[in-house]
């Protein structure tokens, strides 16, 4: 078969050149028009459960938060693996589903099983699921730099968290905008015990 093709191409050189040129032009057109991801998304369908319970040790986090979440998610449909990580004040649970599982269906199942755990976790520990993005969803990183020197890190952080973050989140296809660095503005209330005593207000009634 190959010998016949080579013989035909040798006898019809002009037609062979024309076909080769057409195939080359068609390949160049396909290269420019076909959308191909620079980094193919080969990650698994997973949902991340994050729980914050500050001031507690990893052992306490593991026993009262991570372990109950892991055991509950193991019984969810189409779940293949559940991994839990405990650290100071924080718990991360990675629920990995079977291949070809729809991401939003998986998130709905996780939310459903989290609702069953309401009231069983410690007070002040509220689990939340991560954004609807895959493991290779981090596509852009930027830095806010004030070359004029008019704004400090607190003002730049405020602009990022209260304005720019929401502008970027409204862009189609953006699942989350995570802020790193900067100084967060804090407010401190100083109580004057002499004025409280003059007004006959006990310290127990002072709330921030």
Residues 145 and 182 in one domain: yes
Task: Return the closest-CA partner of residue 143 out of 162, 160, 158, 166.
Answer: 160
Residues 208 and 151 in one domain: yes
pLDDT of residue 153: 87
| Domain C-terminal end among 98, 129, 160 | 129
Work out how many domains the chain is built from and give that number. 3
pLDDT of 24 > 80? The answer is: yes
H/E element holding 81?
Answer: strand 79-87
What mean pLDDT do residues 42-59 have?
A: 86
Task: Return the closest-CA partner of residue 81 out of 93, 91, 65.
Answer: 93
Residue 122: which pLDDT band, with cuts at 50, 70 and 90? Answer: confident
Name the pTM for this structure.
0.58
Alpha-carbon radius of gyration of the chain: 29
H/E element holding 52?
Answer: strand 46-52
pLDDT of residue 39: 62
Q: Which two tokens stand for residue 1?
A: 């078969």
Contacts of 115 (CB under 8 A, 6+ apart): none
Of 4-8, 33-37, 70-74, 203-207, which range is least confident?
33-37
pLDDT of residue 82: 92
Residues 89 and 163 in one domain: no
Residue 103: helix, strand or coil by DSSP?
helix
pLDDT of 34 > 90? The answer is: no
What mean pLDDT do residues 119-141 have?
A: 79
Residues 161 and 191 in one domain: yes
Burial class of 94 by CB neighbour count within 10 A (0 to 12, 13 to 18, 19+) = middle
User: How does the average pLDDT of the chain come out, rounded?
Assistant: 85
pLDDT of residue 148: 87
Residue 134 belongs to some domain of the structure:
no
What mean pLDDT do residues 9-34 have?
A: 84
Per-residue pLDDT tens digits for 159-184:
988 899 899 988 888 878 888 887 87
Residues 146 and 192 in one domain: yes
Distance separating alpha carbons of residues 66 and 53, to the nearest angstrom: 11
Per-residue pLDDT tens digits for 83-109:
999 999 899 999 999 988 888 899 999
Residues 74 and 25 in one domain: no
Residue 41 belongs to some domain of the structure:
no
pLDDT of residue 136: 66
Distance separating alpha carbons of residues 200 and 72, to the nearest angstrom: 52
Range of the domain at 149: 140-208
């Amino acid at each position: 078969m190959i010998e016949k093709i080579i013989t035909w191409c040798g006898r019809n050189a002009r037609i062979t050149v024309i076909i080769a040129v057409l195939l080359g032009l068609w390949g160049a057109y396909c290269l420019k028009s076909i959308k191909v991801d620079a980094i193919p998304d080969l990650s698994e369908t997973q949902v991340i459960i994050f729980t914050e319970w500050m001031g507690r040790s990893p052992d306490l986090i593991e026993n009262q938060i991570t372990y109950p979440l892991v055991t509950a998610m193991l019984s969810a449909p189409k779940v293949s693996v559940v991994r839990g990580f405990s650290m100071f004040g924080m718990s991360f649970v990675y629920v990995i589903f079977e291949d070809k599982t729809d991401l939003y269906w998986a998130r709905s199942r996780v939310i459903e099983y989290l609702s069953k755990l309401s009231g069983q976790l410690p007070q002040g520990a509220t689990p939340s699921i991560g954004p609807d993005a895959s493991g290779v969803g981090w596509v852009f990183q930027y830095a806010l730099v004030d070359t004029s020197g008019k704004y400090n890190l607190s003002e730049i952080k405020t602009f990022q968290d209260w304005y720019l973050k929401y502008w970027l989140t409204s862009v189609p296809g953006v699942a989350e905008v995570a802020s790193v660095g900067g100084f967060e503005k804090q407010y401190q209330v100083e109580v004057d015990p002499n004025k409280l005593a003059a007004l006959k207000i006990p310290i127990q009634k002072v709330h921030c």
